[in-house]
Amino acid sequence: MSDLFTEIKAKVKQDRPTVVFPEGLDERILKAAHQLATDEVVKPILIGNQEEIAAKAKDLNVSLTGIEVINPASYEQFDMLVQSFVERRKGKETEESAREKLLDPNYFGTMLVHVDLADGLVSGAVHSTGDTVRPALQIIKTQPGIKKTSGVFVMVKDEQKFVFGDCAINISPNDEELAEIAIATAETAKVFDLDPKVAMLSFSTKGSASSIETKKVSAATKIAQESRPDLVIDGEFQFDAAFVPAVAQKKAPDSPLRGEANVFIFPSLESGNLGYKIAQRLGGYEAIGPILQGLNKPVNDLSRGCNEQDVYKLALITAMQSIQNKVLS
């Protein structure tokens, strides 16, 4: 495990946040939950039938010690969750429809997070991204001032850490949405002990080219700067002007970034997805994510092709996000 996750484990262990896993019968989830409980870094909650999960754990030779298992169908506080869900949906759900939806493990797990019976949720080993994100948007909702959630990758190589966003969700964000993404990504960077220096990327540096695309990034930069003057955010920048001090000195000598950006905001999903994959495949960086951001409480989505280590790592990140959220609140 990389030094980054060694550091995260040490910090998370002090608080031991509770993370809920709606896919309690999945082998990868069971093994990761067992390791998280054994390492005493996270308190796992598995959603599912207790007998079935116990039988699966026995087959895998995995102990359930330190792991809570909850079956929505027999949960003592189910009525409370139903009522809370109806209130949260503000007329969009009846008690009857709420009872039906909360038998779904993702909706049930998300409600546990909403009512503070869990600190975060990790799903997606079996379910689609939509199945994971939809309940989060309906129940957890986005933070004040943020209209959309976004997805970032932490790029790690040796001692180097950078954050790339949005590389996962928003196809073509407008200037206001791009500003939101920049601010949310700066906050995510803090979770990983980065002092965020945010570069708004484009194919232009400070007006060297002019188009609808470059003007969008320039406008987004201004919105983000006015909204959060406490953060170092600047643009628009070509990547080299944001990353190489010598180039920055020539192209943007007055910028506070000075070619030392560690958070990179891409103008579109297309460029973000290409950017992180090029860094991963050609640059040899480990791409950790996507990490969902902008929600009131952390909910994160696994790839259905994930392995046990991916589950373990994303649970640690989710736990760190929950700790950061409490610091901010």
Say what the pLDDT of residue 329 is.
62
- Going along the chain from its start, the domains and CATH numbers come out as 3-141+296-328 (3.40.50.10950), 150-286 (3.40.50.10750)
Sequence-ordered list of residues with C-beta below 8 angstroms from that of 96, at least 6 positions apart, any chain: none
Position 290 scores a pLDDT of: 84
Determine the pLDDT at residue 2. 65
Report how far residue 260's alpha carbon sits from residue 241's, in angstroms, rounded to the nearest whole number: 9
Torsion of CA 258, 259, 260, 262, to 10 degrees: 130
- Output the pLDDT for position 306: 83
What pLDDT is attached to residue 3? Answer: 77
Regions of the chain where pLDDT drops below 50: none
Q: How far apart are CA 64 and CA 44, in angstroms?
A: 10
Exposed, middle or buried: residue 305 (CB in 10 Å: 0-12, 13-18, 19+)? Answer: exposed
Unique residue bearing structure tokens 């001032």 = 145
Predicted pLDDT of residue 159: 86
How far apart CA 11 and CA 128 sit, in angstroms, is 30
- The H-assigned helical ranges of 156-253 are 175-191, 212-227, 239-243, 245-251
pTM value is: 0.85
Token pair belonging to 123: 């799903």
Contact yes or no for 184/146 (Cβ under 8 A): yes
Are the C-beta atoms of 40 and 63 separated by less than 8 Å? no
Identify the CA nearest to 316 among candidates 85, 96, 154. Answer: 154
Residues 91-116 have pLDDT tens digits of: 899 999 999 999 999 999 999 999 99
> 215 φ, ψ to 5°?
-65, -35
How many helices (H) and strands (E) are present in the chain, helices listed first? 13, 11
Q: 246-293 pLDDT, tens per residue?
A: 999 999 999 999 999 999 999 999 999 999 999 999 999 988 878 899
| pLDDT of 1 | 56
Omega before residue 166 within 30° of 0, cis: yes
Contact between 265 and 185 (Cβ < 8 Å): yes
Q: Which two tokens stand for residue 47?
A: 């959603």
| Structure tokens that stand for 135 in this block | 């309940």
